Amino acid sequence: MTDELWIEETLAKLTLEEKVSLLSGANFWETVAIERLGVPAVKVSDGPNGARGGVTENGPTAAVFPSGIALGASWNPELLKEVGKALAEEARTKDSNVLLAPTVNMHRGPLNGRNFECYSEDPHLTTEMALAYIGGLQSQGIGATIKHFIGNESEYERMTMSSDIDIRTLREIYLPPFEAAVKAGIWALMCSYNRLNGTFTSEHKWLLHDLLKVEYGFDGLVMSDWTAVKSVAESMNAGLDLEMPGPALYRGKKLLEAIDRGEIDLDMVTDGARRVLRLVDRSGVRRVARVKEERSVDLPAHRALIRRAVAEGSVLLKNNGVLPLDGKKPLKLAVIGPNAAAARIMGGGSARVNAHYRVSPLQGLLARDNVEVLYEEGCTNHLLLPVVTSPMTTHFYNNEDFSGPAVFTRQYPGSDAKWFGSHEPGVNLDVFTARSSFEVTPERSGRYELGLANAGLARLYVDDVLTIDGWDGWAPTGATYYHFGGDERQVEIELEEGRTYHFHVDYRSTTGVMDGIQAFRVGLSLPPGEAGLRRAKRVAASADVAIVFVGRTPEWDSEGRDLPGIDLPRAQDELIARVAAANPQCIVVLQTGGPVAMPWKDDVAAILQSWYPGQELGHGVADVLFGDAEPGGRLPQTFPAVLSANPTVGNYPGENGHVAYREGVFIGYRHYDRSGGEGVLYPFGFGLSYTTFELGEPKASSTTIRPGDRFTVTTPVRNAGKRAGKAVVQVYVSPPPGHDRPLKELRGFSALTLSAGEAAEADVTLGMRSLAYFDAGRNAWRAPAGDYTILIGTSSVDLPHSIPVTLESDWEEVCAVAAP
Ligand code: BGC
């Protein structure tokens, strides 16, 4: 229970200056404390797949859970509740009270760089998963922050882009998870960077105040995305409670001056302070003081949960019978591909966590008995050249010319350093220089690709010879480090096996650590080329089974940039084709944050999509491949055969600062249904099991429905196979004709794990909103009287059962707030 009395009494004692001070962060992650009144600071932490804590790079390690899309693919709210609870424990180890999660933007199209963080293309699935995650987290006293409110369905020009979305589409597709989370009592919400219909969401009064706080009744805190506040009066008067990060850029003194000028609605100031106090109270930090220390706690229970979650989210797209592999017989496995030895456990951007450890697929397979593993990378799939993993020592100087003794020295695990929102002891992070050195002793001679990417100025020297100049003429083109970095500059360099080369980078900051990113990375790669493909083919031919681990990397699937397309990067399609030609028992394991084109689909024996599933990747995938675990995932997003089949084509990524959501409510399967399924490679909701299920004739608790009724659809399910497995029963509603509505929409689902021969019933309860659409003219949710069909099955195109239900008369729920 919130202590409203304490909140109001404290509010009454606050001076105007103190109230204003509460409305922006104290630093990157904490709110302001008011010691005189016993108001402690609350600490927030990224992010959805782990609790990173206050150090953005190389901080205390943390458990890495599956990314949003992998969790969405589990269709298992119980799992998300467990993940939420575990993340609460993780947050405590990082001295944090609030997690900046979940991310519930929709998979509007396949190219959003941040789709990996989001659950699905469907609002119902997204909502159910988000509610479970939030429930798990908050049941343990750690707050959730649903984000990003709203219209952040792409990263392209995200700081300025206007997402132009009509009210019906907003209400039906993009708002539902936010609305439901508010009604379930979420503590915090984060606005987005972009504009909505021309107005920044951070200063959109209709959105933040009228809709969110008045109509939805949100009593929690609205915070900005990091540096998303662009105004003093507009954002304050719109109801943006907390500017993050701190210290204030548009609040503090500027807000006090605007108050003096009479530009500010003082009720908003008071209400904002009240909401900060409510978060303080809810977080419990008044009663149990924060420890002010971040720890690494690697719990066996979290390891086990993540391992199970890998399998729960893995979607088996094709299987000619090769899977599961027989673990009892000796097996010679060719393990091939750029994602075999590298553990692609998470996507890129603010969701990144310093993992306790990472199990690669190769390690996961090597850990099994009875297998002989032959490994070959075959080709690469990087966007930027891979960083060098030898230790790097960095000396910092508080001047512009590296003079005098270093004020601080730090070791990094590789040739990659970033100083975003972090503090290096004694270093003036507004103006500093850093000299970093590391050594490289190549295992093979050859012509290497060497790259330098930087945000700030940098020069790379090899054996004291300037080799890449990222200083003279450097510009932040936005190709790396969100919009703060420049292009990766590349050269070719001959290196000899066994010789030790000394690399060093001279770096100078150009922005302050709070208002920009200061970073550089050195990448080095010996391209495997044609020889790599040939080696892969040879290895594949000599094995019983060939498993190709392909996909993307956290640089492709990342915050801050969108994807250029859905083709697998570099020579991966060719690699799969060659391996499949050499060995008919070819299994493709995909790791991407969304769909890819699969020109080789008909030539391979099996396809498993495992996304970015967290630190237990290799163990979890091996569990699925050998049948110790069921591939429990179902696609949370339609996989198109070609990008051009997607409805956002032509309306993406936007032009002249606007991205028009012209496809309206027809995203994902809502679109493909309308176009007769054309262009679908694998449909929404699809995924194979290792067993078979029989769905019996479903029944509805009532087929004649009165306005306001709820009714339950019960479907008998039987595991007709020889092993345990997971069935995901999906319930869609098809409306009566007469309105421009999707042919059907997912309105319920139930995931059941059944042992061989076991039978159970899947219950899904539907209500008026399940039948309704949003009628913009009447500003109301409306279910017109008529005949609806409830469709039941195991994917959006496999719906063998139907129940007709009749709504006797019109139902309508008028919304409190009209469209702006
Ligand atoms: C992201 C947010 C994140 C915040 C803090 C922003 O760049 O959009 O999702 O929580 O940074 O790291």
Question: Could you give all domains of the chain from N- to C-terminal order, each with its CATH number?
Answer: 4-283 (3.20.20.300), 302-382+529-654 (3.40.50.1700), 392-525 (2.60.120.260), 691-814 (2.60.40.10)
For residue 85, pLDDT over 90 is answered with yes
Q: Is 337 in the pocket of ligand 1 (CB under 6 A)?
A: no
Span 278-315, pLDDT tens digits: 999 999 999 999 999 999 999 999 999 999 999 999 99
Which residues, at least 6 apart from 676, have a Cβ–Cβ distance to it below 8 Å? Answer: none
Ligand 1, atom nearest to 482 Cα? 7
Q: Which of 100, 346, 513 maximizes ligand 1 atoms within 8 Å of its Cβ, making it the mutation to test the pocket? A: 100
Q: Is 224 in the pocket of ligand 1 (CB under 6 A)?
A: no
Q: Is 147 in the pocket of ligand 1 (CB under 6 A)?
A: yes
Per-residue confidence band for 513, with pLDDT thresholds at 50, 70 and 90: low
Q: Which residues pair with 754 in a beta bridge?
A: 725
Ligand 1, atom nearest to 152 Cα? 8
Ligand 1, atom nearest to 245 Cα? 5
Tell the burial category of 371 from Cβ atoms under 10 Å away from its Cβ (0-12, 13-18, 19+): buried
Measured CA to CA, the distance from residue 340 to residue 358 in angstroms comes to 12
Nearest CA to ligand 1 atom 4: 226
Give the residue among 238, 232, 156 at the shortest CA–CA distance from 191. 238
Span 437-472, pLDDT tens digits: 999 999 999 999 999 999 999 999 999 999 999 999
* Ligand 1 centroid – CA 47 distance (Å): 8
For residue 138, pLDDT over 90 is answered with yes
Q: Residue 172 gets which letter from DSSP? A: I
Span 739-767, pLDDT tens digits: 899 999 999 999 999 999 999 999 999 99
Q: Which of 226, 244, 418, 558 maximizes ligand 1 atoms within 8 Å of its Cβ, making it the mutation to test the pocket? A: 226
* Mean per-residue pLDDT, 679-702: 98
* Mean per-residue pLDDT, 401-407: 95
For residue 420, pLDDT over 80 is answered with no
Backbone angles phi and psi of 208, in degrees to 5: -80, -35
- Residue 766's pLDDT is 98
**Helix (H), strand (E) at residue 12:** helix 4-13
Nearest CA to ligand 1 atom 9: 350
Handedness of CA 251, 253, 258, 262 (dihedral sign): positive
Q: Is 226 in the pocket of ligand 1 (CB under 6 A)?
A: yes
Q: Say if pTM beats, i.e. exceeds, 0.85.
A: yes
Span 211-245, pLDDT tens digits: 999 999 999 999 999 999 999 999 999 999 999 99
The CA-based angle 79-617-72, given to 5 degrees, is 35
* Mean per-residue pLDDT, 388-417: 95
Calculate the alpha carbon distances from 259 to 91, 250, 820 in Å. 37, 13, 26
* Ligand 1 centroid – CA 346 distance (Å): 15
Calculate the alpha carbon distances from 699 to 241, 559, 706, 783 in Å. 48, 44, 18, 21
* Ligand 1 centroid – CA 227 distance (Å): 9
Span 161-220, pLDDT tens digits: 999 999 999 999 999 999 999 999 999 999 999 999 999 999 999 999 999 999 999 999
- Whether the Cβ atoms of residue 615 and residue 351 lie closer than 8 Å to each other: no
* Ligand 1 centroid – CA 226 distance (Å): 6
Give the residue among 90, 180, 175, 100 at the shortest CA–CA distance from 132. 180
* Ligand 1 centroid – CA 709 distance (Å): 41
Tell the burial category of 209 from Cβ atoms under 10 Å away from its Cβ (0-12, 13-18, 19+): buried
* Mean per-residue pLDDT, 776-780: 97
Ligand 1, atom nearest to 349 Cα? 7
* Mean per-residue pLDDT, 250-258: 98
Ligand 1, atom nearest to 192 Cα? 8
Q: Is 225 in the pocket of ligand 1 (CB under 6 A)?
A: yes
Ligand 1, atom nearest to 421 Cα? 12
Tell the burial category of 300 from Cβ atoms under 10 Å away from its Cβ (0-12, 13-18, 19+): exposed
Q: Which of 225, 229, 558 maximizes ligand 1 atoms within 8 Å of its Cβ, making it the mutation to test the pocket? A: 225
Span 86-110, pLDDT tens digits: 999 999 999 999 999 999 999 999 9
* Ligand 1 centroid – CA 697 distance (Å): 47
For residue 511, pLDDT over 80 is answered with no
* Ligand 1 centroid – CA 192 distance (Å): 9
Span 325-384, pLDDT tens digits: 999 999 999 999 999 999 999 999 999 999 999 999 999 999 999 999 999 999 999 999
Nearest CA to ligand 1 atom 6: 226
806: amino acid identity, one letter:
T
* Ligand 1 centroid – CA 593 distance (Å): 18
Tokens of 137: 């987290």
Q: Which of 28, 117, 350 maximizes ligand 1 atoms within 8 Å of its Cβ, making it the mutation to test the pocket? A: 350
- Residue 479's pLDDT is 83
Tokens of 464: 């004291």
- Whether the Cβ atoms of residue 816 and residue 716 lie closer than 8 Å to each other: no
- Compute how many other C-beta atoms are within 10 angstroms of the C-beta atom of residue 485: 24
Span 564-590, pLDDT tens digits: 999 999 999 999 999 999 999 999 999
Q: Which of 46, 191, 517 maximizes ligand 1 atoms within 8 Å of its Cβ, making it the mutation to test the pocket? A: 46
- Residue 429's pLDDT is 77
The CA-based angle 471-475-477, given to 5 degrees, is 140
Give the residue among 426, 431, 339 at the shortest CA–CA distance from 377. 339
Per-residue confidence band for 515, with pLDDT thresholds at 50, 70 and 90: low
What single string gives the DSSP state of each residue in 652-671? SS-BTTEEE-TTTT--THHH
- Compute how many other C-beta atoms are within 10 angstroms of the C-beta atom of residue 462: 18
Ligand 1, atom nearest to 145 Cα? 10
Q: Is 350 in the pocket of ligand 1 (CB under 6 A)?
A: yes
* Ligand 1 centroid – CA 105 distance (Å): 13
Q: How far apart are the first and last CA of the chain?
A: 34
Measured CA to CA, the distance from residue 722 to residue 134 in angstroms comes to 36
Residues known to be catalytic: 225
Q: Give the mean pLDDT of the chain.
A: 96
Q: Is 100 in the pocket of ligand 1 (CB under 6 A)?
A: yes
Tell the burial category of 498 from Cβ atoms under 10 Å away from its Cβ (0-12, 13-18, 19+): exposed
3-state secondary structure of 619: helix
* Ligand 1 centroid – CA 231 distance (Å): 19
Nearest CA to ligand 1 atom 5: 226
Measured CA to CA, the distance from residue 542 to residue 584 in angstroms comes to 12
Ligand 1, atom nearest to 193 Cα? 8
* Ligand 1 centroid – CA 24 distance (Å): 16
- Residue 35's pLDDT is 97
- Residue 137's pLDDT is 98
With b for 16 or more beta-carbon neighbours within 10 A and e for fewer, the 74-113 pattern comes to bbbbebbbbbbbbbbbbbbbbbbbbbbbbbbbbbbbbbbb
What single string gives the DSSP state of each residue in 304-320? HHHHHHHHHH-EEEEES
* Ligand 1 centroid – CA 103 distance (Å): 10
* Mean per-residue pLDDT, 66-75: 98
- Residue 477's pLDDT is 86
Backbone angles phi and psi of 5, in degrees to 5: -65, -50
- Residue 514's pLDDT is 61
- Residue 56's pLDDT is 84
Ligand 1, atom nearest to 101 Cα? 10
Q: Is 47 in the pocket of ligand 1 (CB under 6 A)?
A: yes
Nearest CA to ligand 1 atom 3: 350
Q: Is 46 in the pocket of ligand 1 (CB under 6 A)?
A: yes
Per-residue confidence band for 705, with pLDDT thresholds at 50, 70 and 90: very high
Tokens of 327: 């673990």
Measured CA to CA, the distance from residue 436 to residue 447 in angstroms comes to 24
* Ligand 1 centroid – CA 147 distance (Å): 9
Nearest CA to ligand 1 atom 11: 226
Chain length of the chain: 820
Nearest CA to ligand 1 atom 8: 225
Nearest CA to ligand 1 atom 12: 350
- Whether the Cβ atoms of residue 763 and residue 714 lie closer than 8 Å to each other: yes
* Ligand 1 centroid – CA 196 distance (Å): 18
